[in-house]
Structure 1
Amino acid sequence: MSAALATAAVATHFAGPWAWGPWFLLIPLFWIALFVILFAVFGRRWRRSAAEIGFGPHGRLNPTRQAEVTLAERYAKGDIDEVEYRARLEVLRANAAS
Protein backbone atom coordinates (compact mmCIF):
# COMPACT_ATOMS: atom_id res chain seq x y z
CA MET A 1 0.00 0.00 0.00
CA SER A 2 2.77 2.44 0.85
CA ALA A 3 4.44 1.69 -2.49
CA ALA A 4 1.18 2.50 -4.28
CA LEU A 5 0.82 5.78 -2.38
CA ALA A 6 4.43 6.70 -3.10
CA THR A 7 3.95 5.94 -6.79
CA ALA A 8 0.74 8.00 -6.85
CA ALA A 9 2.48 10.90 -5.10
CA VAL A 10 5.37 10.85 -7.57
CA ALA A 11 2.98 10.59 -10.53
CA THR A 12 0.90 13.50 -9.24
CA HIS A 13 3.99 15.57 -8.64
CA PHE A 14 5.33 15.13 -12.17
CA ALA A 15 1.98 15.12 -13.99
CA GLY A 16 0.29 18.04 -12.26
CA PRO A 17 -0.94 21.11 -14.14
CA TRP A 18 2.21 23.03 -13.11
CA ALA A 19 4.57 20.11 -13.56
CA TRP A 20 7.37 22.36 -14.80
CA GLY A 21 6.75 25.11 -12.27
CA PRO A 22 8.00 28.59 -13.06
CA TRP A 23 10.59 27.21 -15.50
CA PHE A 24 7.77 26.75 -17.98
CA LEU A 25 7.58 30.56 -18.31
CA LEU A 26 11.17 31.49 -17.57
CA ILE A 27 12.80 29.49 -20.38
CA PRO A 28 10.87 31.22 -23.23
CA LEU A 29 11.39 34.58 -21.52
CA PHE A 30 15.13 33.88 -21.38
CA TRP A 31 15.30 33.22 -25.14
CA ILE A 32 13.17 36.26 -25.96
CA ALA A 33 15.41 38.45 -23.80
CA LEU A 34 18.53 36.97 -25.41
CA PHE A 35 17.28 37.75 -28.93
CA VAL A 36 16.24 41.28 -27.93
CA ILE A 37 19.66 41.97 -26.44
CA LEU A 38 21.48 40.57 -29.50
CA PHE A 39 19.31 42.60 -31.85
CA ALA A 40 19.85 45.75 -29.80
CA VAL A 41 23.63 45.34 -29.72
CA PHE A 42 24.22 44.27 -33.31
CA GLY A 43 21.44 46.42 -34.77
CA ARG A 44 22.91 49.52 -33.15
CA ARG A 45 26.40 48.58 -34.34
CA TRP A 46 25.13 48.10 -37.93
CA ARG A 47 23.25 51.41 -37.91
CA ARG A 48 26.27 53.24 -36.53
CA SER A 49 28.64 51.79 -39.13
CA ALA A 50 26.15 52.55 -41.91
CA ALA A 51 25.94 56.16 -40.72
CA GLU A 52 29.73 56.48 -40.66
CA ILE A 53 29.94 55.27 -44.26
CA GLY A 54 27.32 57.80 -45.29
CA PHE A 55 24.22 55.70 -45.87
CA GLY A 56 20.89 57.42 -45.38
CA PRO A 57 17.82 56.02 -43.63
CA HIS A 58 16.79 53.90 -46.63
CA GLY A 59 20.18 52.31 -47.27
CA ARG A 60 21.22 54.70 -50.04
CA LEU A 61 24.24 56.98 -49.96
CA ASN A 62 23.43 60.59 -49.36
CA PRO A 63 24.07 62.84 -52.40
CA THR A 64 27.27 64.41 -51.07
CA ARG A 65 28.80 61.04 -50.22
CA GLN A 66 27.72 59.65 -53.61
CA ALA A 67 29.46 62.55 -55.36
CA GLU A 68 32.65 61.89 -53.37
CA VAL A 69 32.53 58.19 -54.30
CA THR A 70 32.07 59.04 -57.99
CA LEU A 71 34.95 61.50 -57.84
CA ALA A 72 37.18 58.89 -56.17
CA GLU A 73 36.28 56.35 -58.85
CA ARG A 74 37.20 58.82 -61.61
CA TYR A 75 40.53 59.50 -59.89
CA ALA A 76 41.18 55.74 -59.53
CA LYS A 77 40.46 55.18 -63.24
CA GLY A 78 42.87 57.95 -64.18
CA ASP A 79 40.24 60.25 -65.69
CA ILE A 80 41.43 63.13 -63.49
CA ASP A 81 44.76 63.89 -61.86
CA GLU A 82 45.45 64.46 -58.16
CA VAL A 83 45.32 68.26 -58.34
CA GLU A 84 41.91 68.21 -60.00
CA TYR A 85 40.68 65.50 -57.60
CA ARG A 86 41.67 67.51 -54.53
CA ALA A 87 40.22 70.73 -55.94
CA ARG A 88 36.87 69.12 -56.73
CA LEU A 89 36.79 67.31 -53.40
CA GLU A 90 37.38 70.58 -51.60
CA VAL A 91 34.51 72.19 -53.51
CA LEU A 92 32.19 69.27 -52.68
CA ARG A 93 32.99 69.38 -48.98
CA ALA A 94 32.68 73.16 -48.84
CA ASN A 95 29.25 73.02 -50.47
CA ALA A 96 28.15 70.16 -48.19
CA ALA A 97 29.02 72.21 -45.09
CA SER A 98 26.84 75.11 -46.26
Structure 2
Amino acid sequence: MLRTDLITIDPETVSGTPVFTGTRVPIKNLFDCLTGNYSLAEFLEDFPTVERAQAEAVLELAMKCLLPEYLHVQPAQIDFSFAHKPGHETAA
Protein backbone atom coordinates (compact mmCIF):
# COMPACT_ATOMS: atom_id res chain seq x y z
CA MET A 1 0.00 0.00 0.00
CA LEU A 2 1.14 3.53 -0.82
CA ARG A 3 -0.41 6.31 1.24
CA THR A 4 0.32 10.01 1.27
CA ASP A 5 -1.73 12.90 2.56
CA LEU A 6 -3.14 13.24 -0.98
CA ILE A 7 -3.24 9.84 -2.65
CA THR A 8 -3.72 6.27 -1.47
CA ILE A 9 -3.05 3.19 -3.59
CA ASP A 10 -4.22 0.06 -1.82
CA PRO A 11 -5.22 -3.25 -3.45
CA GLU A 12 -8.06 -3.45 -0.90
CA THR A 13 -9.51 -0.06 -1.92
CA VAL A 14 -11.11 0.23 -5.37
CA SER A 15 -8.84 -2.60 -6.61
CA GLY A 16 -5.69 -0.53 -6.16
CA THR A 17 -6.89 2.47 -8.16
CA PRO A 18 -5.25 5.67 -6.89
CA VAL A 19 -7.83 7.46 -4.73
CA PHE A 20 -7.96 10.64 -2.70
CA THR A 21 -6.72 9.69 0.76
CA GLY A 22 -9.56 9.08 3.19
CA THR A 23 -12.06 8.46 0.37
CA ARG A 24 -12.92 5.89 -2.27
CA VAL A 25 -12.91 8.55 -5.01
CA PRO A 26 -10.44 7.77 -7.80
CA ILE A 27 -8.03 10.58 -8.70
CA LYS A 28 -8.97 9.93 -12.34
CA ASN A 29 -12.50 11.18 -11.62
CA LEU A 30 -11.12 14.67 -11.02
CA PHE A 31 -9.38 14.75 -14.39
CA ASP A 32 -12.37 13.16 -16.15
CA CYS A 33 -14.66 15.85 -14.75
CA LEU A 34 -12.33 18.70 -15.64
CA THR A 35 -11.78 17.44 -19.19
CA GLY A 36 -15.55 16.99 -19.46
CA ASN A 37 -16.01 20.73 -18.85
CA TYR A 38 -17.09 20.39 -15.23
CA SER A 39 -15.76 22.99 -12.84
CA LEU A 40 -13.81 22.11 -9.71
CA ALA A 41 -16.84 23.24 -7.70
CA GLU A 42 -19.06 20.79 -9.60
CA PHE A 43 -16.57 17.97 -9.00
CA LEU A 44 -16.54 18.75 -5.28
CA GLU A 45 -20.34 18.85 -5.22
CA ASP A 46 -20.50 15.42 -6.92
CA PHE A 47 -17.81 13.97 -4.63
CA PRO A 48 -18.37 15.58 -1.21
CA THR A 49 -15.84 13.33 0.55
CA VAL A 50 -13.02 15.08 -1.35
CA GLU A 51 -11.91 18.35 0.22
CA ARG A 52 -11.13 21.36 -1.97
CA ALA A 53 -7.57 21.45 -0.59
CA GLN A 54 -7.05 17.81 -1.64
CA ALA A 55 -8.26 18.42 -5.19
CA GLU A 56 -6.20 21.60 -5.56
CA ALA A 57 -3.10 19.83 -4.22
CA VAL A 58 -3.52 16.96 -6.70
CA LEU A 59 -3.84 19.45 -9.56
CA GLU A 60 -0.72 21.26 -8.35
CA LEU A 61 1.15 17.95 -8.14
CA ALA A 62 0.10 17.10 -11.71
CA MET A 63 1.24 20.53 -12.87
CA LYS A 64 4.63 20.08 -11.22
CA CYS A 65 5.02 16.67 -12.84
CA LEU A 66 4.19 17.91 -16.32
CA LEU A 67 5.36 21.48 -16.85
CA PRO A 68 8.94 22.08 -18.01
CA GLU A 69 9.61 24.88 -15.53
CA TYR A 70 9.08 22.37 -12.72
CA LEU A 71 11.00 19.59 -14.47
CA HIS A 72 14.12 21.77 -14.85
CA VAL A 73 14.41 20.94 -18.55
CA GLN A 74 13.82 22.92 -21.69
CA PRO A 75 10.78 21.94 -23.80
CA ALA A 76 13.05 20.81 -26.64
CA GLN A 77 14.57 18.23 -24.28
CA ILE A 78 11.24 16.44 -23.80
CA ASP A 79 10.53 13.73 -26.36
CA PHE A 80 6.81 13.75 -27.13
CA SER A 81 7.15 11.51 -30.19
CA PHE A 82 5.43 8.65 -28.33
CA ALA A 83 2.21 10.67 -28.49
CA HIS A 84 2.05 10.33 -32.26
CA LYS A 85 2.65 6.59 -32.54
CA PRO A 86 -0.24 4.27 -33.44
CA GLY A 87 -2.02 3.07 -30.35
CA HIS A 88 -1.27 6.28 -28.45
CA GLU A 89 -3.98 8.47 -29.92
CA THR A 90 -5.50 11.07 -27.68
CA ALA A 91 -9.22 11.65 -27.42
CA ALA A 92 -10.55 14.63 -29.30
Q: TM-score, normalised by structure 1?
A: 0.30
Higher strand share: 2
Query: What TM-score do you get using the length of structure 2 for normalisation?
Result: 0.31
